[in-house]
A and B are shown apart, each in its own frame.
Chain A
């Protein structure tokens, strides 16, 4: 095994098979993929291509049937459940298509959550969350709850939550899928800006327009991945 210290994602021969009764469904078929530090990559694929499954595996929410996956040189397949939770907490920042904010918590409390689950004390969490919300232009929305915010604002809260813990990898699943074109462009600008600041970003999408704005593109179809540099 060659360890590349600059390699954030190092997935090798990933296979994922779902058992559907006695039928075997091969969703991911021998996928190998590398993402280097400070890369901005997109995984493009139509629905049913297996891109969500791949994203779940890359995000350590699911384990492959076979293959190897090193995230930031950590062997994910040999990690225990609690370690996976800690890895998700500290190494990965998720941005979801539907934002997935806690509806009863304020914007500030939402952004604080990943830090709180890390055992960070309240004062420090408030300070860091404010900093990120400020960065994303939401300094005047700290005590608003998600239902009181626009879609674009909610997505910015979600992005703030994803980056608040300084993750090694920002993983965005259709981040513009629920946004109008203006907010969508705004979100892409944020990702580009975050990438310039040194964040490693992977966006999973079916939207070719989104994909074309990104320097490095993987194309996934029927469970197979193609490099499309």
Chain B
């Protein structure tokens, strides 16, 4: 007795061909069905891009500042009643948790080179500042201890500032003299570009001179410094902060540590990461809701499609289509529709990136974003297409054939 093998199935290529014909026939409906998936996938793609962009930005900030750096500055921007002193610096250094501390003075003024004047920020720094802020020399030399002890009238320029002053020929400025607020300085070097930290004021746009020089010639001995301290390690930052507060409470009896802002790079970055993560979670849940809603849309449309083709399903069963073949056919239809939506979504997401950049939201498109977006679109198709496809597969051939 011969029973035909049940193992012969419609080939996948043929199945996809038939499905594509059906989708093409219903192109308007199929396109409308994909709208939700398009939006959902585009959102997921952007979530990943924004996440990557935020991470890249945070990493860049890490690279610009040592994690153990603590900055102490007056809390109010106005006149400081009780300024930080060099005595504070010495007291900070006494702490076991602090490896190094040095004052920094900031000023702004006109910088003049070769008849060109540019308003800019300048900073009077100790040589240690350069290592703490990851400033490396592009050309010439950095500021050293000798400049500091002799109050040399020399300056090192940020990359951007050097560019602006020389109209693009930065290299020519090394060895030349510039005027800062009408005082002459010799340019001894240019720092490598560090990029915009997003804080607005970048070291790239600043001029750097020795601390003692700054006091002596530009800012005067009564200028109020900020203090940069370096914790001995990442794990001692919190203790270092405690010690700094204790010193400030002790030395500044009028207002104590309260009147100063104490920032440490590590916790600032952690906070930034935290908010980036919150943002991502928010967008991700929006994407999830959009995808669920669009999935329900797909399910709806697939139900209508199954209903419309009931008689065809009956015919297919009569000519020998197996239950699983009907199931696959409708499942593949749902998957292809959602995958098409996913691909369109990724394309639209990709073209939205410049818009985000215009609004200064850092977004970094990536292959992983494309893949995650597409995977989610396919999952939507599988998940919400399965039930209608199952219904189609389970149709009784007689009922299906007599359906009008």
Which residues of A are interface residues toward B (Cβ below 8 A)?
56, 59, 61-62, 72-75, 79-83, 85-91, 94, 96, 100, 102-105, 109, 113-114, 116-119, 121-122, 161
| Cross-interface CB contact of B25 among A61, A104, A122, cutoff 8 Å | A104
Q: Is B315 touching A100 in the complex (CB atoms < 8 A)?
A: yes
Q: Is A119 touching B10 in the complex (CB atoms < 8 A)?
A: yes
Cα distance, A75 to B21, chains bound together (Å): 38
Cα distance, A166 to B318, chains bound together (Å): 15
Q: Is A86 touching B320 in the complex (CB atoms < 8 A)?
A: yes
**Residues in chain A near residue B243, CB distance under 8 A:** none
Q: Is B401 touching A100 in the complex (CB atoms < 8 A)?
A: yes
Q: Is A75 touching B320 in the complex (CB atoms < 8 A)?
A: no
State the 6 A-B residue pairs at the shortest beta-carbon distance, nearest first.
A89-B320, A82-B6, A119-B8, A86-B4, A100-B315, A85-B322
Q: Is B320 touching A114 in the complex (CB atoms < 8 A)?
A: yes
Interface flag for B312 (CB, 8 Å)? yes
Cα distance, A28 to B356, chains bound together (Å): 72
Q: Is A104 touching B320 in the complex (CB atoms < 8 A)?
A: no
The CB with the most chain B CB atoms within 10 A, among A74, A79, A91, A113, is that of: A113
Interface flag for B22 (CB, 8 Å)? yes
Q: List 21 A-B contacts (CB under 8 A).
A: A61-B401, A62-B398, A80-B6, A81-B322, A83-B3, A86-B5, A89-B321, A96-B315, A100-B314, A102-B312, A102-B315, A104-B22, A105-B18, A109-B21, A113-B316, A116-B10, A117-B9, A117-B10, A117-B322, A117-B325, A122-B11
* A59-B1 contact in complex given A86-B8, A119-B10, C-beta closer than 8 Å: no
**Residues in chain A near residue B318, CB distance under 8 A:** 59, 61, 88, 94, 96, 100
- Residue ID in chain A nearest B24 by CB atoms: A104
Interface flag for B169 (CB, 8 Å)? no
* A119-B6 contact in complex given A88-B317, A89-B319, A104-B25, C-beta closer than 8 Å: no
Which residues of B are interface residues toward A (Cβ below 8 A)?
1-6, 8-11, 13-14, 18, 21-22, 25, 311-312, 314-325, 397-398, 401
**Residues in chain B near residue A56, CB distance under 8 A:** 398
| Cross-interface CB contact of A83 among B6, B13, B18, B398, cutoff 8 Å | B6
Q: Is A82 touching B323 in the complex (CB atoms < 8 A)?
A: yes
Q: Is A119 touching B320 in the complex (CB atoms < 8 A)?
A: no
- Excluding A85-B317, A85-B321, A89-B4, 5 further A-B contacts by CB distance (< 8 Å) are A74-B3, A86-B322, A114-B319, A119-B10, A161-B319
Cα distance, A16 to B223, chains bound together (Å): 106
**Residues in chain B near residue A121, CB distance under 8 A:** 11
* A119-B319 contact in complex given A61-B398, A61-B401, C-beta closer than 8 Å: no
Query: Dominant SS at the A interface?
Result: mixed
Cα distance, A59 to B10, chains bound together (Å): 21
Q: Is A86 touching B6 in the complex (CB atoms < 8 A)?
A: yes
Cα distance, A218 to B5, chains bound together (Å): 33
- Residue ID in chain A nearest B309 by CB atoms: A102
Cα distance, A105 to B319, chains bound together (Å): 15
Cα distance, A74 to B5, chains bound together (Å): 13
- Residue ID in chain B nearest A85 by CB atoms: B322
Q: Is B319 touching A88 in the complex (CB atoms < 8 A)?
A: yes
**Residues in chain B near residue A89, CB distance under 8 A:** 4, 319-321
Cα distance, A26 to B318, chains bound together (Å): 24
Cα distance, A91 to B2, chains bound together (Å): 11
**Residues in chain B near residue A75, CB distance under 8 A:** 1
Q: Is A91 touching B323 in the complex (CB atoms < 8 A)?
A: no
Q: Is B317 touching A90 in the complex (CB atoms < 8 A)?
A: no
**Residues in chain A near residue B22, CB distance under 8 A:** 104
**Residues in chain A near residue B18, CB distance under 8 A:** 105
**Residues in chain B near residue A103, CB distance under 8 A:** 312
- Residue ID in chain A nearest B312 by CB atoms: A102
Measured CB to CB, the closest approach of chain A to B308, in angstroms, equals 11
**Residues in chain A near residue B4, CB distance under 8 A:** 83, 86-87, 89-91
Cα distance, A109 to B316, chains bound together (Å): 13
Q: Is A113 touching B6 in the complex (CB atoms < 8 A)?
A: no
* A79-B3 contact in complex given A61-B398, A119-B8, C-beta closer than 8 Å: yes
Measured CB to CB, the closest approach of chain B to A5, in angstroms, equals 12
**Residues in chain A near residue B321, CB distance under 8 A:** 85, 89, 117
Measured CB to CB, the closest approach of chain B to A71, in angstroms, equals 10
Q: Is B317 touching A61 in the complex (CB atoms < 8 A)?
A: yes
* A82-B322 contact in complex given A117-B10, A119-B8, C-beta closer than 8 Å: yes
**Residues in chain A near residue B316, CB distance under 8 A:** 113, 117
The CB with the most chain A CB atoms within 10 A, among B9, B21, B312, B315, is that of: B315
